[in-house]
Amino acid sequence: IVLPFAGYWLGREIYEFNQQMGITMMGGFMSWLWIIQAFLIGVLFLAGNYYLWVGMGRIPGAERFMPYTKWMLVVLVIGVIVWATPRTMIASRAELTAMGGASHPFLGVLGVMSAKNTAVNFMILTTFLSFLLYRRANKEPVVSWATTGTRVQGVLFVVAAAVVLFYGIYGYFVPSIVRIGFSVYQVLAVLFAIFAVLGLDMAMMRGAKSRGAIRWGQMPERSQYALFILAVTFTWLMGLMGFARSGIRQHWHVWEVVRDTSEWAATPALGYASVVISACVLIFLSLVAFIFWVGGLAEKSVFAEGRKLQPPPDLTPPHSPDLAPAPTGD
């Protein structure tokens, strides 16, 4: 949840340090990298929320929250669509003429950071709401102010969403150097809502009654696919962001201080970089799988040694006088 906060704060600091560096990052050859990033983070949000919703199926009392999940899914999908909308379109000459430029008259409005900041903050609020419902699924508060506390939590969500929406719309009417600072206000509003709501919830659920025991071990198999997607996508995203961090320096070791004069100073194209990043992700996950495989072999060897140390079972039937052979006469 907190990763987009750190990313937008870093973007603001880059613009404060050097506007040209920020323009290269967001509007230059790196611009389409953020479209790929938007899809990857969209997958993270969707898979994470899906895992929480599936997990609620094993919790008694969670069924009262399930009707809300479809509306939360609508918010997440719209947020991903807005976040993944490019500022400029790859189009033919005829299409560019029809649009009146590289920016689409409608999609271009959604391609600027005002819309994207607003979308991602709504996605963060929705994901936190999923976590909150998951946490409260099988609990029933016993404090006298439970109803009031729940209403205050709802007000905090609404106020945070209103602040995010206000600065998202207001950002269209100010210069870009001012607009980039609005992301901080949006982040602070969302963070305040998260910590305030969580603090209220912890106090409200103190001594809460249980609605039933969680049915452990009853998660459907599709939930594990969501976890696998989370692991792969997160690793892929970290590789992509590593390329963005080093690529925006271009031919500088330290921006405009130490120049890279070697023959490898050129920044690779996004297509080539994505292939290298994907190969690194496959190598990393293969190493992780190898480590788990070796760990499994060690467990098998310990189990086998334990069986060798056990004495063999005694297969001799127990002695019984009734089963003793009758003595033979002379």
Residue 326, domain member (yes or no): no
**Claim to verify: residue 58 and residue 97 sit in the same structural domain:** yes
Domain count, the chain: 2
Residue 68 CB neighbour total at 10 angstroms: 13
Residue 263, domain member (yes or no): no
**Claim to verify: residue 277 and residue 222 sit in the same structural domain:** no
Residue 285 lies in domain: 268-308
Single pTM value for the model: 0.79
**Claim to verify: residue 225 and residue 300 sit in the same structural domain:** no
Compute the distance between CA of residue 189 and CA of residue 175 in angstroms, rounded to an integer. 22
**Claim to verify: residue 250 and residue 303 sit in the same structural domain:** no
Amino acid 314: pLDDT: 58
Residue 29, domain member (yes or no): yes
Residue 313, domain member (yes or no): no
pLDDT tens by residue, the chain, 330 residues: 666 777 777 777 887 787 778 777 777 777 788 888 888 989 999 999 999 999 888 888 888 888 889 999 999 999 999 988 887 777 778 877 777 777 777 777 787 788 888 999 999 999 999 999 988 888 888 888 888 999 999 999 999 999 999 999 998 888 877 887 788 888 899 999 999 999 998 998 888 788 878 888 888 888 889 989 999 998 999 898 888 888 888 888 787 788 888 887 778 888 898 999 999 999 999 999 999 888 888 776 655 555 665 666 655 555 555 555 555 554
**Claim to verify: residue 235 and residue 296 sit in the same structural domain:** no
**Claim to verify: residue 68 and residue 202 sit in the same structural domain:** yes
**Claim to verify: residue 175 and residue 222 sit in the same structural domain:** yes
Residue 317, domain member (yes or no): no
**Claim to verify: residue 282 and residue 227 sit in the same structural domain:** no
**Claim to verify: residue 12 and residue 108 sit in the same structural domain:** yes
**Claim to verify: residue 161 and residue 283 sit in the same structural domain:** no
Amino acid 154: pLDDT: 93
Residue 178, domain member (yes or no): yes
